[in-house]
Chains A and B, each alone.
Chain A
Amino acid sequence: MAQPELSFTRRRFLKGSFIGVGFGVGIVASSTLCVRHFWSSGSKRPLLGLERLSQSEARTLLALFLTILGPSFQGDIKSLILFVDGFTKNLPNKSFWELRGAFFLMEHLVPLLQGHISRFSELGEIKQIEVLHSLENGQPLLRPLFKGLKELCYFAYYVSPASWSAIGYAGPQVTQNVAPVPDPYVRLIAPRVS
C-alpha cells in the first residue's frame, strides 16, 4: 500500500521543485510599506488582490520570504507575494500545479518529516530556520525543493530595484521602452493589412 504513495511523493518532490528563476510580470516595488507586522507568519488574515495563489499558499510564501530573506529584511513583502502571484500567470498550467505542489509539501510534509506537527507557516521563526537548514543540507532528494523555493524568493527580491542599492548595483542603464540608439529593426516588420 505504501509504495505507490511513496513513488507519487518522490515524483512530486522532484517535479515540484521546478520553480526558481521565474517569469516576471511588472513588479512595483515600494520600500515604504513593511508588512512584517501586518502579516505575522502565523496570521490567518486574508491576502488581498491575489489572482492565482490561494491564501494558504500565500501564507507559506510569506513564511518562506521572512525566513529566507532573514531577520534584517525591511522591505515590502506584499509586493513580493504579488510578484510571485503575477508570474504564475505566465506559467504553463502543469508548471503552476507543480509550484502549488511545492508549496503544499513545504507547508505540510516537510515539517512533519522533521517531527513537527504544525504547518511550516505556523512554526516559530527559529523552527522555520531549522527546517530550512535541514532541508538544504539533508536528503539529496529533497534538496531541489529547497533550492527551487529559495531561488523563487531571491528572484522576486533581487529583481526589485528596492534591493539594489544595498548590494551596490546601479540597475539598468536604459530607459524602459526607449532604444538608446536608432532602431534599424522596426522597419523589417511587415505592414499589417486589415
Chain B
Amino acid sequence: MIYTSDHFTKNETLKCDVCIVGSGAGGAYAAHALSSRGKSVILVESGSFHTLRDFSQREEAMFPKLFYEAGNRRTSDRKIRVLHGKGVGGSTLHNVNLCKRIPEELFALWNLKGLSFAQLEAHYQEVETLLGVKKIAENQVNRANTLFRAGTQKLGYKGAILSHNRTGCVGSGFCELGCSYDGKNNALKVLIPKIVGSGKGRVLADAKVTIFEMQGRRVVKARVSIRDPRLPPDSPPKCEITIEANAFVSCAGGIETPLLLQRSRIPDPFGLIGSKLFLHPGTAALGFFEEKVESWMGVPQSWECTEFLGFGARDANRVWLIGGSAHPAGAASILPGFGSAHRELMHQYPHIVPISPMVHDQSCGRVSQDGEHRVKIDYELNAKDQAQLGLGLFESAKILFAAGARQVLIPFVSPILVSSVDELMMHRERLNHCLGETDIVSVHPMGSVWMGNSPESSCLDVTGRYHHLDNLFVADMSVYPTSIGVPPQISTYAMGKLVGENVARMV
C-alpha cells in the first residue's frame, strides 16, 4: 500500500529485504523487478502521492508540487535552471513521455566490461513493452510539430516522429504539469500499482531519506524524516522512520543521489561522488507564424531533428533539435524585455512555435549540498558546448523560416528579432555565446554517480553496485558515464530493471 505523512505519528522501525530511495523511472522499475521476484521492498519518496484530481493544470499549483524548489533550482552562477521532479512517480509525473534509446555508438565508447549493448537492448525491449511505447500516430502530431516537421523536411534534414509511452492521451498538452486523464504510461500508472499489488511492496510518500548508516562495508539503515506537505518547508519533521534492509538502492535522481551519498559520508577514497555532472542543457528559438498555432495544445514533442546530433568521436556536431511549448507563466519568463514590449510579444503567444536545441554536453559540473534545503550545482558551459547551442539556435531558426515563420526571435537579453536567415547571419557569432544571455534549462541532469570498470575512475560497477560497499546500489540517471545526449527516461527505466534484477539475485 501507499503510506503518506498522515499515516505516521511516531518514530518507528520498518524492515524489508530492499529499501529503495526515490520512486521515479529507476526506483519504480527496480522496486517492480524486486517485488515481482518475491522480495519485500520499501520504496521511499520525498515528494507526495498525487491522484488524478490533484493535477489541476495550473502552473502555480503544480510547480511546487512536482518540482524541487518549485522549478527554480539553478546552477550556482544562476545561469542555468535545473528541473528535477518529485512525487510518487518522480520526474515521470511531469515529463513529456518521449522515449529514445542510448545509441549503440555512444554505449560502445563507454567500454563497460560485463555489460553488452545486446543485454541493454533486451532490457529496453521488455521495458518498452510494459510501458506501451509506440510511435505517435499521424493524427496526434499537433500543429507546432507539423510545422517543425515541414521545415525540417524542406531543408532536407534528418528527422523522425518520436515514440512515446502514452495510452488514453486526449492531447490536452498539459504534460509538464502532470496528467489529469491518466494518459501517461509512467511510473505512477504502470509500476506503482504492480508494486503495491504484488503484496511485497510498501510505498512511503512525504518521506525523505536523510542518511544511510553503515557498518563496515554494508549499509544497515536508512533514516527517513516524514514531513507534512501542508506545512511550510522549514517545519520540523513529524517523525523519523528507520528502515533496516539487506540492500539499499538509491534512485533519487542525478542531483539528489550524490547529495544523499555525500550526506551519508559513504567511503569515497577518490572523491568521485557528484564530481561529474552533465546537464544536457537546452535553450529555444521562437518562430512567429501568421496562423494561430497554439503550440501548448496537443501532444508535445512528437517530432525531432537529428541532422546535427552525432555521438562518435569523429562527429562534428552534438546538438538535438526538439519542439517546445510552454503555458503562460513559463512563456512569459522566456520572452525578453518588460513593459509594453513584453506585452506585445505575449499577445503573439498563440502564434509562437518554439524549437529547442539541446547539447550532448562535454562540459562537466559538480553537485554538493548547500544547507538543508538547497543544493549547490557548479557547472560552466564551455565554449564548445555554447557553440553547439549557437549552431542549434541558428538551425532551429532556419527550420522555422522554412516552415513559414514571418519572424524568428532569439530571446537574448538584447533580443535578436529577424525576418530572414540572411538577417540572422549578421548575428551568427553572437549565438555562440548564449550563456547568461538567454534562458538555458536542464531537464536531464545525469552522470553524477557513474558506472565504470575501476573504483579509481568510477563510482559503480556494471551491476549498479557502489564499488566500496557490498550492498549499496544506484539505479537512476546518475549512472551514465557521460551525457547520453537524448532524454534519459526509457534508459533509466531499463537501468532500474537491470539493477533491480541484480539486487534480487543478491538478497
Binding site for B on A (CB under 8 A): 14, 17-24, 26-27, 67-72, 83, 87, 89-95, 129, 132, 136-137, 140, 143-144, 147-148, 150-151, 154-155, 157-159, 163-164, 166-169, 171-174, 176-181, 183-186, 188-190, 192
Contacts and interface: CB of A to CB of B under 8 A. Distances in A.
Interface in B309-340: 327-333, 337-340
Nearest to B4: A189
B132 interface: no
Given A24-B58, A167-B349, A179 B52 contact: yes
B233 A144 contact: no
Contact of A169 (B70, B74, B328, B373): B328
A17 B436 CA distance: 14
A94 B70 contact: no
Given A27-B60, A72-B340, A158-B329, A183 B51 contact: yes
B238 interface: no
Nearest to A136: B413
B83 to A, nearest CB: 10
A186 B51 contact: yes
A70 B340 contact: yes
A21 B70 contact: yes
Given A24-B63, A89-B232, A172-B57, A67 B339 contact: yes
A169 B342 CA distance: 16
A70 B347 CA distance: 14
A119 B246 CA distance: 62
A181 B167 CA distance: 13
Nearest to B172: A173
B50 to A, nearest CB: 8
Given A21-B333, A94-B371, A188-B196, A132 B338 contact: yes
Contact of A23 (B64, B296, B327): B64
A179 B53 contact: yes
A189 B202 CA distance: 10
Contacts of B347: 166-167
A18 B193 CA distance: 38
Nearest to B414: A137
B307 interface: no
A174 B333 contact: no
A189 B192 CA distance: 11
A177 B53 contact: yes
Given A21-B329, A90-B64, 7 more contacts: A21-B71, A72-B343, A159-B60, A167-B349, A167-B350, A185-B52, A185-B192
A168 B182 CA distance: 26
6 contacts: A70-B343, A136-B338, A143-B436, A147-B78, A169-B349, A173-B174
Contacts of A143: 413, 436
A21 B371 CA distance: 21
A183 B53 contact: yes
A69 B339 contact: yes
Contacts of B294: 168
B56 interface: yes
Contacts of A186: 51
Nearest to B71: A21
Given A132-B338, A189-B1, A168 B349 contact: yes
B107 interface: no
B92 to A, nearest CB: 14
Most chain-A Cβ atoms within 10 A of its Cβ — which of B51, B71, B188? B51
Contacts of B374: 92, 94-95
Nearest to A64: B338
Contacts of A92: 232-234, 372-374
Contacts of B55: 174
Contacts of B349: 167-169
A172 B200 CA distance: 38
B1 to A, nearest CB: 4
B56 A158 contact: no
Contacts of A150: 333, 338
